[in-house]
Amino acid sequence: MNVLVIGSGGREHALCWKIKQSPKVKRLYCAPGNGGIARIAECVGIAADDVQGLLQFALSKKIDLTIVGPEASLVAGVVDIFVQKGLKIFGPSQAASQLEGSKVFAKEFMQRRHIPTAVYKVFNDPALAVTYLQQAKFPLVVKADGIAAGKGVYVCADIKAAKKAIEEIMVQKIFAVAGDRIVIEECLQGPEVSLLAVCDGKHFLVLPTSQDHKRIFDDDLGPNTGGMGAFSPSPLVTVEVLDQIIARIIEPTIRGMYQEGNPFKGVLFAGLMLTSDGPKALEFNVRFGDPETQSILPRLQSDIVELFLAACDGRLHEIKVKWDESSCVCIVIASGGYPGKYQNGFVINGLDGVKEEDAVVFHAGTKNDGGTLVTNGGRVLSVVSLGRNLEAAAVKAYNNVSKIEFDHMFFRRDIAVKIGK
C-alpha cells in the first residue's frame, strides 16, 4: 500500500513510526513532515491545509490510504474532497469536524444529546460578555469558538482575568476569526483526563486512557500550551469510571452524530473532567491528540493500518486490538519562550545518545538545515519511554531527556509525578 500522513508535528511522527511497522505499507509519505519524519517517510512540501495540493498528490502517487493529523485539515474539508474522488481517508467529514471546529456547536450538541458538560453561555458581542461577568460566579472559563492550536481556553480566577481574556479573543483578535464568538462556562473541578476512540460512523473502539499536562510550568502553573507531556494509562480512570465515560459521553456522541446526519468516522478525542458528580465533557477534538498520541501508540501491539482500514470500511466491530500492559510517559521538550515568542534555528545535539530500547524520540518542531538538525517550532521534541509502571517510565524518559541539548531548551520536570493533577 501507498500511505500518506498529513501533518508535521510529534503526533504525525508517532503515526508514521507506527504505520511504518505495518507489513502492508510499501511507500510512506508525509505532507509536509519534519526533520525526524524525513528519516522514516518521504516528506513532500505541501501544507496540511492545502486541500487541492494534497488531493493532486494523492491521485498522482496512487495513495491507497490517507491519515489526517491536524484539525485544520479536517475543518478545511479534506476528507470530503478525498472521498468525492474515491480515495480512502481516515478522518471525520467537515460537518462532523464541527465538534472541534466550533465550541458553540459542540456545547449545543452536548446539550441536545444530554451529555454531561459545564453550564455555559455564548456571546458574539464583547460588551455583552463583559456585562455578563458582573453576575457570574468565579472561577470561570472563557473559550474562543474556533480552533486556536490548543491555546484558546482561559481559566479565569476573577473578573479582571475574564475581561482580559475577552479583550484578547474578541477585540485584539489574537486567534483571528476563531474569536468571533466565545463560550463562557462554569469552571469544573477535578482531575482532567483524555479518552480517544476510533470510530467508523456506527461503532467505536476505545483506546487506552491518557493524561495530558497543558500548562507550561511545573505544578500546572502558567498559560496553556498545546501540551507539555502526557502519560498512559491514567490510574484515575477505573473500570467503573471508564464505563461511565463510555455510556454517558462517548456512545451518546457517536449515536447522536449518526442520528443527526453527520456520522463520525475517525478519532473522537474527549477531554474530560472527573468531577464529584461523575465524568463531564470539557471539549471534543476530532483527531489524535498531541502529545497523548505519543504516549498511547507505543503501547499498541496490533497493526495500526488494519485499524484504520476497518474504521474506513465500517467494520470496527470485527477486529480486536492488542495493547502492551506497560505504562508510557511522554516528555515534551520546547523552545524557551513558548507558548509566547521564541527563536528557531538552534542546533539539536545528543539524539544519538538515546537508545531505541530506552526511548523513542518523536520530532515536532525540527528541520534539516544543510544536513544539520535544528529547532523549528515551539514544541520541538517528545521523548517517550515504556516502563513497568508510570514511575519507572518517567525515570527512563527523563534520563533520556538529559542527553539532549539545544540553546534555550525547556521542559517540565513533573510529568507523571503528580498523577492527580
CATH code for the domain in which residue 203 is found = 3.30.470.20
Residue 310 belongs to some domain of the structure: yes
The number of distinct structural domains making up the chain is 4
Domain end point (choices 262, 297, 318): 318
158, 214: one domain: no
- Reading the chain (421 residues) residue by residue, the pLDDT tens digits are 999 999 999 999 999 999 999 999 999 999 999 999 999 999 999 999 999 999 999 999 999 999 999 999 999 999 999 999 999 999 999 999 999 999 999 999 999 999 999 999 999 999 999 999 999 999 999 999 999 877 899 999 999 999 999 999 999 999 999 999 999 999 999 999 999 999 999 999 999 999 999 999 999 999 889 899 999 999 999 999 999 999 999 999 999 999 999 999 999 999 999 999 999 999 999 999 999 999 999 999 999 999 999 999 999 999 999 999 999 999 999 999 999 999 999 999 999 999 988 999 999 999 999 999 999 999 999 999 999 999 999 999 999 999 999 999 999 999 998 664 4
Residue 27 belongs to some domain of the structure: yes
d(CA 260, CA 263): 8
Residue 97 belongs to some domain of the structure: no
Give Cα separations from 240 to 243, 244, 246 (angstroms). Answer: 5, 6, 10
CATH classification at residue 57: 3.40.50.20
226, 300: one domain: yes
Rg (CA), the chain: 20
180, 198: one domain: no
Residue 111 belongs to some domain of the structure: no
Q: What's the pTM?
A: 0.94
User: Residue 134 CA to chain centroid, in angstroms?
Assistant: 34
215, 233: one domain: yes
Angle between helices 251-259 and 103-112 (to 10 degrees): 100
CATH classification at residue 348: 3.90.600.10
Identify the CA nearest to 49 among candidates 80, 85, 15, 73. 73
Domain that holds residue 84: 2-91
